[in-house]
Chain A
């Protein structure tokens, strides 16, 4: 059970949030210009990282804001939290240990 720091509300229990999958997958500007393979790649293919992973969460039972989380998928350590639209912080691969 994670403790997640919402950038707006502070630290809250995981049950207040919902998960939004991998972060930084922008919806293509012109989907029509993409091949079926490229479109399928956007639709279905996601990383399955062991270690540092950038993902989206929504504080759905709180402020309802979406934000990004850098989490270690092995230790579940949350390495960084940052707002939508912000670049991922540069972190040592795997996060601090």
Chain B
């Protein structure tokens, strides 16, 4: 059953290298140079899968990226990859592939019964059928659709392969290495420009690989090889094969996916980069992307064995495969006649050429007539016999413009139908680059309009389909692009080409059926991949859709991995016929990236796991690890979360840590707090404008807490700032906000107040901060800082001193986030661990206890101290937080001030910060729980706020919570309810300060 032809000089397969592979569990053979599709056709396998909605048998239609049908599941070692086009899979030894979208197998598919219920699968089927109730989606519809629609199995384990990214600049980027692209690359490369030439295929040559041509007296294959060799010898030229330009963005920024190992046997891929994404920024881009052939739209045009004429020609000439023994060609143009001639020359019988034109008479038509081929002009195929493989076609005489046929049918036996509806330039990348398309009537296709970036179009993308024209346009484009980048070379090139005359085309968008479109049962497929038919488009217009973008979404035409490569223009033209509007007036849909699918692995590249984001560690990190700390992420920082001892769960650990701080002394690595050094003669004035409170009178050596708001009056950061000198402050910010605050300061200094002389420098990583807290902290500090006077008078709360601590030059700040006597000792980052160890050693006698961020949160919540981002969410004012005390009434202006009197911010019933005590002290409210005043209220219940922080407090022996509650400041003693999934918790509204309301603990 082999359909492999005798060796021929045009073929590009290596008969010395036979390869074994399996498809759906059966063993087959092919050759190096084959695609999976060509190798299957060589084994007379046409049936590859089932269609998306109707589960109709489907076969190979095309020979490249435009293939809509033949998607397979590919085994990849332990991995599997769904939905790869058989036409784009290079065959390798041991390849294993299977059909997708079939169950139990491709020959007997149970869901094919969908075909019998075809009526309900019409346009908008998903929109109409599965609408209500919503819950049915999750439980019923979606799983059913997913299982039935299939389309391959997603891998279940993480992708084991390696991917990387490359960033490059080019003078000239050329997309497509067909005759136009090659000719452009030669010209630009010879001129000395830095050129990147990319092509999706395994070798250079593009469509020329499938044709028998002569260039400058050489066979086209030899010409391609010579060109490839010359390009390889030019150092500034980079040639990437198996590389698809999938995205074209602003300012000539293109992304290319290079498949580096997908064509190799699995064993040879190990340890190598599988795919590489190239990011190219080019001075000039030459789009030499060629054209895709269009199907003709007739009843049952989706049967296996119905293929594009150019693809048939490619399989014959390039792969040495005869896709059928008896072929019918159906065409609306001269060019496709060559497919019949090539097939005939290869030994196939040409049953007939069905030409829908009345007066086709070009040179190719003449040659076909001379070759004795029966030509039926003014005829069309109106049906295909055979379901898993075309067996015969039904042919009728048709009247131009008729909506239905009236003549009798004749049946012509065949096992292959080649069709050609003309060619559509591959304008996807141009469209992605924001370009608008223009319609060319005489060639019945869209071409790029004016360039929108620095781009040139060459060859078939311009509807210049002849080889001579492609080579010429390519050379001209290459020279122009090089010249624009400053490289003068040969202006033009001439080529002696032997090729048949292009001939003419007459648009023929849809073959009439026995009844008007949309009325009969016949299926004229427009988009094979999405199973949408001409009737669907007709139905969509009948239901009121007219915009091409709406129809695309309603019928799914042009969706999916295919992005309408073969279907878009046919759909558009049929729509134009129905609406009776000229094609250009109907407009085109926008092609979006990616041109062909790109895996997530490739997009992620090396940015995975530990490499997905920088990890920031403090100088004490190793100590925390050794102490067995659990860590949490705070921005990019890893911070100790809690330090469980053997046998302790999290809560036990927190209880111990919190008690230590309240009763003796605890120690916290606070190095991650943002620190910004602010200098300049106007520094105090600057802080006056940035913070809500006053800073001018803060004495040197003193520290003040401040809130920052945005202009809308909402809190966005807080922290303490110390006055180091008359013109110098050290600001601290929350750990996660450090960079944002610095940007904020810079923005105001540079854009609003450039007259202020202030300089901001991030010093977060210059200083390690070790915070000791608890009644014993003064005694501890005394041991390691014997020269410092630590008395309350000499070193009061909210002040700092510089001096010697544990033999290190240190700044010690007496501030407190726990409510206890507390010191934050800052030493240069590199000495951080030495300080920590000294503190631990000196603290041993007090049973010093390291505590993490979770205990810090509990301790500060006991004191009612807010955490920005937890008690605030960008809609919270200082007044909402009960922090009016920190908002200056005297300062004429500061950021946020004007907004406090806006109607909305001045409202009485805003959500305000309160404390909550649950009725049952053992119950801990979930953070984020919604609160209501009336637990009996009808659903949807009126929400009055939510829990912002909630913990078990070992100090108080019960749970505590902070919450934002509507009008909460006036509701002390009131009750709120938290309706949870299976129960409702009751809580009393209380003051947010739960512990040491008088602040007596601050002095130890």
Contact = CB atoms under 8 A, between A and B. Distances in A.
Interface of A: 1-3, 13, 18, 20, 26-27, 30-32, 34, 36, 39-40, 42-43, 56, 58, 60, 64-66, 75-76, 84-85
A76 B754 contact: no
B898 interface: yes
Contact of B751 (A32, A40, A56): A56
B251 A3 contact: yes
B893 A43 contact: no
A39 B743 CA distance: 24
Contacts, number: 58
Nearest to A56: B751
Interface in B883-919: 892-893, 897-899, 901-903
Nearest to B452: A75
B601 to A, nearest CB: 21
Contact of B251 (A2, A40, A43): A2
Contacts of B903: 36
A31 B901 CA distance: 11
B902 A40 contact: yes
Contacts of B281: 3, 13
The 3 closest A-B CB pairs, nearest first, are A31-B898, A76-B250, A66-B750
A41 B871 CA distance: 28
Nearest to A3: B251
A4 B502 CA distance: 45
B121 interface: no
Given A2-B251, A39-B902, A40-B902, A84 B754 contact: yes
B893 A30 contact: yes
B746 interface: yes
A43 B743 contact: no
Nearest to B754: A85
B711 A27 contact: yes
B899 A58 contact: no
A34 B250 CA distance: 41
B192 to A, nearest CB: 22
Contacts of A85: 754
A66 B753 CA distance: 13
Contacts of A1: 249-251, 253
Contacts of A60: 743
A32 B899 CA distance: 9
Interface in B739-753: 743, 746-747, 750-752
Contacts of B251: 1-3, 76
Given A31-B898, A32-B892, A2 B250 contact: yes
Contacts of A3: 250-251, 253, 281
A61 to B, nearest CB: 10
B746 A43 contact: no
B452 A66 contact: no
B394 interface: no
B82 to A, nearest CB: 29
A69 B651 CA distance: 54
A65 B747 CA distance: 8
A58 B747 contact: yes
Interface string B752-773: 1010000000000000000000
A8 to B, nearest CB: 12
A66 B898 CA distance: 25
6 contacts: A1-B250, A1-B251, A2-B251, A34-B898, A39-B899, A84-B754
A96 to B, nearest CB: 13
Contacts of B253: 1, 3
Contacts of A18: 743
A18 B739 CA distance: 13
B245 to A, nearest CB: 14
B712 interface: yes
B434 interface: yes
A56 B752 CA distance: 12
Given A1-B249, A1-B251, A58 B746 contact: yes
Contact of B712 (A34, A43, A76): A43
Interface in B425-471: 434, 452
A20 B391 CA distance: 65
A13 B252 CA distance: 12
Nearest to A13: B281
A58 to B, nearest CB: 7
A43 B711 contact: yes
B301 to A, nearest CB: 40
Q: Which of the listed residues A31, A40, A58 has the most CB atoms from chain B within 10 Å of its own CB?
A: A31
B743 A58 contact: yes
A58 B742 CA distance: 12
Given A1-B251, A1-B253, A43-B711, 7 more contacts: A32-B892, A32-B897, A42-B711, A56-B751, A58-B747, A66-B747, A76-B250
B898 A39 contact: yes
Nearest to A65: B750
B743 A75 contact: no
Contacts of A13: 281
Contacts of A36: 901-903
A82 to B, nearest CB: 13
Contacts of B747: 20, 58, 66
Nearest to A4: B251
A43 B893 CA distance: 15
Contacts of A66: 746-747, 750-751
A1 B740 CA distance: 23
B686 to A, nearest CB: 14
Nearest to A34: B898
